[in-house]
Amino acid sequence: MLIVMNHKAGPKQIEAVVKAVEQMGLTAAPIPGSERTAIGVLGNRGYVDDTTIRDLPGVQEVIHVSKPYKLVSRDFHPRHTVVRVGDVVIGEGKRPVVVAGPCAVEGEEQIVRTARAVKKYGADLLRGGAFKPRTGPHAFQGLREEGLKLLAIARRETGLPIVTEVMSPDTVGLVAEYADLLQVGARNMQNFELLKELGRIRKPVLLKRGMSATLEEFLAAAEYILAEGNGQVILCERGIRTFETATRNTLDLAVVPLIREMTHLPVMVDPSHATGKRSLVAPMAKAALVAGAHGVLVEVHPEPDKALSDGPQSLTFHGFETLMGEIRRLNEFLGF
């Protein structure tokens, strides 16, 4: 529920409204950054009878918000959120960031070489999976804690903050010891226990859209993290399942400006998993930035043909260097 106060409402009237809401067993707080003074109400489990509120002095309007997400919506939080990962700043008005690295950490030489290369060409963050959500149990499952340690070595060697996936609530503590940004993969977007656990840590989270999730389901998943107290969330579009089989997934680029309209959270795009095809990664990365993405996430491997996962969509070092040149020129054009 949103309570909009009239322009003349003073602090005493606002306080009285907050008290009245609290007497109903709900929580209320003024929303900073609203054009009109607004009070957000949370904690309701169904329809709320607003008769005791709407006639209080200073109240102009009571709006019932029936969306499954509130904290992520612009209604409740008009100011955009900026997420910090180490020294890297992601969000509205900032230069778009580039996350790059292999699908999976395969060994020290592979991850350190890749980290050095992507750093050299201008990446802001290093990605690499240590816990891998593979479709079948016989595929490479990741190096787990050993992989996290290798990522830490790559960070020490290059200074790049690291992004890595966490798959289960019981490994959140472990992954958070190493990662600067914790990724929730598409397959775990609705792992609600994982989301709640991530809401209780004080590190930023990159939440990927589930492969069959509607935008509303995606935002409701993010709401789980915010509802537990962690507001440092970046949303990532990575393609959805459609009838089209020419690409691995269908990149839903329209959600980029839509997410910016509907929420205050930064949004990124992963053209690698969205297309599954190396030649499509650069065009879709650039399209994502033009659509307003605050960053892109791309897979890069020293020898894609030998990669243990996602080789066909991984850029070579040379391919990444070319893409970074193009992104730099695009940023100048876009005014960054």
Give DSSP secondary structure letters for 121-155. Answer: TT-SEEE-BSS---SSTTS----THHHHHHHHHHH
Paired with 332 in beta bridges are none
Query: What are the two backbone dihedrals, phi and then psi, of residue 71, each rounded to the nearest 5 degrees?
Result: -65, -30
| 3-state secondary structure (DSSP) of residue 12 | helix
Residue nearest to ligand PEP (CB): 185
Binding map of ligand PEP across residues 81-120, x = CB under 6 A, - = no contact: ----------------------x-----------------
Among the residue ranges 26-34, 48-56, 179-187, 227-235, the one whose residues contact ligand PEP (CB under 6 A): 179-187
310 belongs to the binding site for Mn ion (CB under 5 A): yes
Total residues at interface with Mn ion (CB under 5 A):
2
103 belongs to the binding site for Mn ion (CB under 5 A): yes
- Near ligand PEP by CB under 6 A: residue from 248, 260, 264, 273: 273
Among the residue ranges 32-40, 67-75, 98-106, 180-188, the one whose residues contact Mn ion (CB under 5 A): 98-106
270 belongs to the binding site for Mn ion (CB under 5 A): no
Minimum distance of ligand PEP from residue 24's CB (angstroms): 41
Residue 88: in which H helix or E strand, if any? strand 88-90
CA distance 246 to 52: 57
Among the residue ranges 38-46, 48-56, 184-192, 318-326, the one whose residues contact ligand PEP (CB under 6 A): 184-192
Distances (CA, A) of 301 to 149, 209, 282, 308: 19, 24, 15, 10
Which residue lies nearer to Mn ion by CB, 103 or 291?
103
Q: Which two tokens stand for residue 37?
A: 């003074």
Encoded amino acid at 111, one letter: I
CA atoms in the 13 A half-sphere facing the CB of 109: 2
Residue 97: in which H helix or E strand, if any? strand 97-101
186 belongs to the binding site for ligand PEP (CB under 6 A): yes
Q: Hey, what's the torsion of the CAs at 275, 277, 282, 284, to 10 degrees?
A: -20
Minimum distance of Mn ion from residue 114's CB (angstroms): 13
Distances (CA, A) of 62 to 33, 40, 57: 18, 10, 13
Give yes or no for a contact between 259 and 265, defined as CB atoms under 8 angstroms apart.
yes
Conformational region of residue 245, where left means phi above 0, alpha means psi within -120 to 50, and beta covers everything else: alpha
- Near ligand PEP by CB under 6 A: residue from 208, 248, 294, 301: 208
Total residues at interface with ligand PEP (CB under 6 A):
10
- Near ligand PEP by CB under 6 A: residue from 96, 129, 295, 304: 129
133 belongs to the binding site for ligand PEP (CB under 6 A): yes
Among the residue ranges 37-45, 148-156, 183-191, 323-331, the one whose residues contact ligand PEP (CB under 6 A): 183-191
Residues 4-63 that bind ligand PEP (CB under 6 A): none
CA distance 75 to 65: 9
Which residue lies nearer to ligand PEP by CB, 40 or 142?
142
213 belongs to the binding site for ligand PEP (CB under 6 A): no
Which residue lies nearer to ligand PEP by CB, 129 or 199?
129
Residues that bind Mn ion (CB under 5 A): 103, 310
Residues that bind ligand PEP (CB under 6 A): 103, 129, 133, 185-187, 208, 238, 270, 273
